Amino acid sequence: MMKKVLAALIPIVLTVAGLFLFLKQNRESYPEDVYNLRLEKIKGKENLIRVEEPLPLAIVKNGFFIKGQARGNWYFEASFPVSLIDEKGNTVVNSYLEAIGEWMREDFVAFEKEFFFESEQQSKYGLLILKKDTPSGLPEQADQIEIPVRFR
């Protein structure tokens, strides 16, 4: 009887331990308070911009997609800037996302684009920064979200 109980418990214990180690490894590059603060800022902007891909702490590799929706006023001339920086602040990608369809409206407008690195990344993590396009340059109109990501 005791052998059956142990045989049933061992896979459960190993699964829980593996899950714990996986979650710990996924967060090890970001201190928990920094990670949680970034998530709160992203959640606070869901009425302005929603990023479906990549999710926070997703692994981004060469040929990664950015996909989501933003309100029409996030765009200017149907686009807005996007950057990917590594943990040292080096720019990995600096480009634009473009609206799919009519962007001059208050509703959400889809965006999707594939991006490529110029060189293989040595860093462990980075930040994907999507900025509201503000041609006026006025700081009170500026806005952005920062999504923590990991490199392969």
Q: What is the pLDDT of residues 110-124, one digit of tens each?
A: 999 999 988 777 888
Can you give the pLDDT at residue 41? Answer: 64
Domain co-membership, 71 together with 142 = yes
Task: List, for residues 37-58, the tens digit of each pLDDT value.
Answer: 566 667 778 889 999 999 988 9
Phi/psi at 122 (5° precision): -100, -15
- Do 73 and 127 reside in the same domain of the chain? yes
The sheet with strand 144-151 has its strands ordered as 49-53, 64-71, 108-115, 91-100, 79-86, 125-131, 144-151, 59-60
Which regions in the chain score pLDDT beneath 70?
1-41
- What CATH number does residue 95 fall under? 2.60.40.1220
Same domain, 15 and 54: no
Cα–Cα distance measured from residue 90 to residue 49, given in angstroms and rounded to the nearest whole number: 25
Domain count, the chain: 2
Domain span at 11: 1-30
- pTM of this prediction exceeds 0.85: no
